[in-house]
Amino acid sequence: MTNKQALKFLKKGDVEGFNHWVKQRRKIGKKSIDLNDKDLSGLDLEGIDLRDAHLNGSNLRGTNLKNANLENARLRQADLQKASFRGADLSNANLKNAKYKGADFKKAKMKGVKGM
């Protein structure tokens, strides 16, 4: 499957399908997912596994990312305004030049986050 198919999972809000797809990719040694410059605004992605994902320049405005795994994710210049990261793992994520006004980071793991 390609990253285009991953985007289809996300647009449908199929977190379970996406997480399964990611798990299969990791089994064959593919860690990162290229979602740079994608519009994922307003989606319900609670519990999504976006470890090591490349989300630079992506629009995540108003997206529900509660309890998501964004460890080591690249979110440079991403629009994170009004997104919910409650309980999410953002350890070692790169948020350099990201816009996060009004984003909810309550109970999120933020150890080693760059750019905040």
CA 52 to chain centre: 9
Query: Is this prediction's pTM over 0.85?
Result: yes
What pLDDT shows up at residue 116? 87
Query: Does residue 104 carry a pLDDT above 90?
Result: yes
Residue type, 62: G
Nearest to 23 by CA among 6, 44, 41: 6
pLDDT band at 6 (very low <50, low <70, confident <90, very high): confident
User: Fold for domain 1-116?
Assistant: Pectate Lyase C-like (2.160.20)
What is residue 4's predicted lDDT score, i.e. its pLDDT? 84
Q: Residue 8 in 3-state DSSP?
A: helix
Helices 3-12 and 15-27, interaxial angle, to 10°? Answer: 160
State pLDDT tens for residues 27-83.
999 888 999 999 999 999 999 999 999 999 999 999 999 999 999 999 999 999 999
Question: Residue 112's pLDDT is what?
Answer: 98
Please compute the mean of the pLDDT values over residues 4-30 and round it to a whole number.
Answer: 92
Kindly compute the dihedral angle of the four CA atoms of residues 51, 104, 61, 87, in this order, to the nearest 10 degrees: 30
